[in-house]
Amino acid sequence: MMKSVITVTAFLVATAGATPPLSTLVPPKIQNILREIKAADKDLLSVSEEDGRFLRLMVVSSGATRALEIGGASGYSAIWIGLGLRQTGGRLTTIEYDAARAKELTANIKRAELADIVTVVSGDAFAELPKLAGEFDFVFLDAWKRDYKRFFDLVFPRLRTRGLFLAHNVVNKRSEMRDFLAAIQDNPAVMTTIVSPSSEGMSVTIKP
């Protein structure tokens, strides 16, 4: 009995001054922002909530710290990725082609209090990507589907070893990206799996 008391006491003393981990729960304020973005998404450009939660999980589980998103829309997925990066201490650069949506994206990131984590770039990703320095360890692609292969060829060489490259709509719009799917599924230099947190489907490719 005495040994148990000593053990518990030692644990309490050791942890008394420890910094508590960040909560994994989504704050009510951000839940409301996410719901508002989805409600206003008439063009159905945002990922599903299930896909958003999956993105966050992938960021945290991989320990990603330098993330890139191509096709930010109004910020729904960027908020989920940003929540993951809040856990890892990382940063995200998200690129959105449409100027009006990029403005909405910037505003939503600020409302979600993620402006210290997420940098919004407005413009053509093919023109903006070469301006970004360094490598990435997490990439999420959700742009024009017929451009997926071009984006993969442009970005994958800049992915760090063990980095993750995720792409959206690989199930429901696979007919629009057959060259991309061949590049990630038939390539002996990468490992890929396709999952379906929702009906759209997500590819997850790792650079060994």
pLDDT digits (tens, 9 = 90+) for 137-170: 999 999 999 999 999 999 999 999 999 999 999 9
What are 95-129's pLDDT values in tens digits? 999 999 999 999 999 999 999 999 999 999 999 99
Distances (CA, A) of 161 to 40, 93, 104, 157, 193: 38, 19, 33, 10, 17
The radius of gyration computed from the CA coordinates of the chain, to the nearest angstrom, equals 19
- H-type helices in 41-121, by residue range? 49-62, 76-88, 99-111
Q: Give the residues across from 92 on adjacent strands.
A: 67, 118
CB 140 within 8 A of CB 77: yes
d(Cα 138, Cα 149) in Å, to the nearest integer? Answer: 17
CB 112 within 8 A of CB 86: no
DSSP state of 44: -
pLDDT of residue 24: 73
d(Cα 18, Cα 136) in Å, to the nearest integer? Answer: 31
Closest CA to 78 of 121, 23, 39: 121
Structure tokens at 104: 């909405």
Amino acid at 173: K
Beta strands in the chain (DSSP E): 66-70, 91-96, 118-122, 136-141, 159-168, 191-195, 202-206
pLDDT of residue 41: 83
What are 71-103's pLDDT values in tens digits? 999 999 999 999 999 999 999 999 999 999 999
d(Cα 37, Cα 79) in Å, to the nearest integer? Answer: 11
pTM here is: 0.87
pLDDT of residue 42: 81
SS3 60: helix
Structure tokens at 33: 């922002």
Distances (CA, A) of 34 to 14, 74, 104, 107, 199: 38, 10, 13, 13, 19
Judged against a pLDDT cut of 50, whether residue 13 lies above it is answered with: no
